[in-house]
Amino acid sequence: MNTTILGLLAESAIHTGTGRSAGVIDLPIAREAATDYPFIPGSSTKGALRDRARRGWPDHNWDPIFGLREQAGQLLVADARLLLLPVRCLTGTYRWVTCPQILERYRRDLQRSGLACDLPRVAPTAGEADRAATVYARGRDRLYLEERELSIAGECPAAILDAIRPRIRHQETAARLADQLAIVSNDDMAWFCRYAIPVQARNVLDCNTKTSKNLWYEESLPADTVLYTLLLARDTATRDAVARLFPDDDPYLQLGGNETVGHGWFAVQLAQGGRP
C-alpha cells in the first residue's frame, strides 16, 4: 500500500463529539477510552475528505476511492491522533504540550508510513510527595501550565522538533515550535487532556423576549491544536488523487460540527510515505 500522512493544524475551535453527555458537559469531544486523549474518528475524516472531493471535482467519480455501503473503497483512513495540545501558560503565551507516550505512538506511525524517523526518548517525571514534576522546555527553572508548577529539566531535543515541524502547515507557525513546545510526563498529559480542554456555553434565545430557550455546554479543541492521520491507498492512482485535494492555494479541510459558526477548520500538510 501507499501511505500518506496528513498533518492537521487547527485554524479554529474543533468539535468532534461523541453524541452523549458526560457530567455537566452536554456535548463532549471524542476521546480514547483508555487514555482520555482527544481524537477524531477515521469515519469523520473520511466523510470530510469525500465532501471536499465532491465539491472540488463534482464531475469525477469518487466512489471507487471512498467506497459505497456495499463495496469497500481504495482509500483507508485512520483515526486522527493528538500530537500537540495548546495549554495556557501563566508565565507567558501558551505552550504546545505533548508527552513520551504520544511521541512513541508518533514514532511508530512514522515507521508504519515508511518515513525515516529517529526520535530520542525523553522521560519527564510526574510530581510526587518528595519531588516536583519535570518538563522539557525552553525557559528558566520553572514553568507554570494551568495551575501546575513544573521544574524544567532541559530543552526539548532538536530531533523531536525536526520530526514535528513537517506536520505544521505554516512556516511562521512551525518556527514557534522550539520556544513553545513542552514535553511533560504521561500522567501530566492525561490531566491536561481531561481538565484543560475549553468548555463553551451556547444558548438559544427567544426572538421576542431574549430569554433562554436552551442552554448547553460543549467541549472544543482549541485553535492551534496539532493532530495527524494516516491515509493508506491500495494503489498509486488513489494516493495521487488524494494529494490533489490539497493544492498550495487551498490546503484547508472542514471537519467536525458547528461549521456555520466557523468551527472545524484545519490547515493540512501532506507528506507521502512508502510501504506501511
Structure-model confidence comparison of residues 69 and 85, the more confident one: 85
For residue 261, pLDDT beyond 80: yes
Q: Report which secondary-structure segment, H or E, holds 44.
A: helix 42-56
Q: Residue 53: CB partners within 8 Å, gap ≥ 6?
A: 60, 62, 65, 66, 245
Residue 222, pLDDT score: 95
Q: Nearest-CA neighbor of 193 among 35, 16, 9, 11?
A: 35
CA distance 226 to 112: 20
Range of 18-32, 77-91, 129-143 with top mean pLDDT: 77-91
pLDDT, tens digit (0-9, with 9 covering 90-100), for 5-35: 999 999 999 998 775 666 778 788 999 989 9
Residue 196 grid cell = 484543560
